[in-house]
């Protein structure tokens, strides 16, 4: 008899618990929907943008290989973290070069928290870009929607999604504070046309997407201006038009095909010490357009004296005072373009025509 009563008691407890669970669950769902409806239209738009774009953003861990001094065993340790975004269904992931710089390996974590080993496809150091590849199935990959940076306006809303300080899929908002800015890349070459934003960008945000109000990629978050190293209201993103031009080249060739003259040039501090205004040619590559145009490299004569080469002073009529001036002009040209190069030799100027080669 006691056993029967206990059995009925257990049944009543289970039924009551189930009733409470389904009642609570069913009442919570309408509450959540109601809470969403209570949001302002702009808030609902921001929530929708984040939920639709977050799956395109990844968490990147750069890994270093270390060896135990006693056991001599090799092990991997995290070296740094950053952000990136899915480029296509083939598993290509775009990030900043400095995120994976000096790493022996890298790991990509998707929005569903699955981890994938990444291989390096190629880099463009001068624009701080890198392309990785993971072997995740296509149904796990949501490529970012690619926009344009040509028609951006100061004051329009922007959204940054990344992993600052390791907090994955963090959304920050702001506006475009400025356009046409210039920052310096890892290779000390200028990156032009950079987007300035006040959306919070902190360590770990590097490589993540900067989006417009339609959730389209307009830039890759790359750098901040801050005396302390933390967010100070000034962040910079490399424009998407630069990304669209270079990433397909990196995927196809393993590097970007940049226009060049076929020369090696001296660093600015050397020309400054020599009191030279312009860009000094150190070497001319054999068979290059520069060699065909008769440009003269810097050489050492039979007496051991250094004989300076040609000094570039203008390109297409625009004055060249230093290497950055030369890079800025070349960045706006393409492989195969014909240019007029003005050089100074023995105090005299001459202009030659050169067809730019891929470097």
From residue 325, alpha-carbon distances to 21, 352, 354 in Å are 70, 18, 18
Alpha helices per DSSP H over 230-334: 240-253, 268-273, 289-292, 323-330
Three-state secondary structure readout of 11-35: HHHHHHHHHHHHHHHHHHHHHHHHH
Residues in Cβ contact with 198 at an 8 Å cutoff, skipping those fewer than 6 apart: 174, 175, 177, 233, 234, 235
What SS3 class is residue 78?
strand
CA–CA separation, 356 and 172 (whole Å): 42
C-beta of residue 111 within 8 angstroms of C-beta of residue 84:
no
Give the H or E element holding residue 198: none
Alpha helices per DSSP H over 158-309: 240-253, 268-273, 289-292
Catalytic site positions: 98, 128, 206
From residue 140, alpha-carbon distances to 134, 143, 280, 302 in Å are 11, 10, 51, 66
C-beta of residue 83 within 8 angstroms of C-beta of residue 57:
yes
């Amino acid at each position: 008899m006691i056993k029967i009563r206990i059995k009925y008691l257990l049944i009543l407890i289970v039924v009551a618990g189930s009733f409470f669970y389904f009642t609570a669950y069913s009442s919570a769902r309408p509450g959540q929907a109601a809470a969403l409806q209570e949001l302002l239209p702009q808030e609902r738009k921001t929530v929708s943008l984040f939920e639709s774009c977050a799956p395109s953003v990844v968490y990147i861990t750069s890994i270093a290989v270390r060896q135990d001094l006693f056991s001599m065993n090799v092990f991997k340790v995290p070296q740094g973290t950053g952000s990136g975004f899915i480029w296509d269904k083939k598993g290509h992931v775009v990030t900043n070069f400095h995120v994976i710089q000096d790493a022996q390996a890298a790991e990509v974590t998707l929005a569903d928290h699955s981890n994938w080993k990444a291989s390096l496809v190629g880099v463009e150091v001068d624009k701080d870009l890198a392309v990785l590849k993971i072997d995740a199935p296509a149904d796990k990959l949501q490529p970012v929607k690619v926009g344009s940076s040509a028609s951006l306006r100061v004051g329009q809303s922007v959204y940054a999604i990344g992993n600052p300080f390791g907090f994955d899929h963090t959304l920050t908002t702001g506006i475009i504070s400025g356009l046409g800015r210039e920052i310096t890349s890892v290779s000390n070459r200028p990156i032009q046309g950079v987007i300035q934003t006040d959306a919070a960008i902190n360590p770990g945000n590097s490589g993540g997407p900067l989006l417009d109000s339609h959730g389209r990629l307009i830039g890759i978050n790359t750098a901040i201006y801050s005396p302390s190293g933390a967010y100070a209201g000034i962040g910079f993103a490399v424009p998407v038009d630069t990304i669209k031009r270079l990433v397909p080249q990196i995927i196809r060739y393993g590097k970007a095909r940049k226009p060049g003259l076929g020369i090696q040039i001296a660093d600015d501090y050397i020309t400054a010490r020599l009191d030279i205004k312009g860009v000094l040619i150190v070497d001319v590559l054999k068979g290059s357009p520069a060699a065909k145009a008769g440009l003269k490299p810097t050489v050492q004569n039979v007496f051991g004296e250094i004989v300076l080469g040609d000094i570039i002073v203008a390109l297409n009529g625009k004055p060249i005072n230093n290497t950055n001036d030369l890079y800025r002009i070349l960045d706006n040209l393409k492989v195969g373009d014909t240019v007029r190069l003005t050089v100074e030799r023995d105090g005299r100027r001459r202009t030659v025509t050169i067809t730019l080669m891929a470097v």
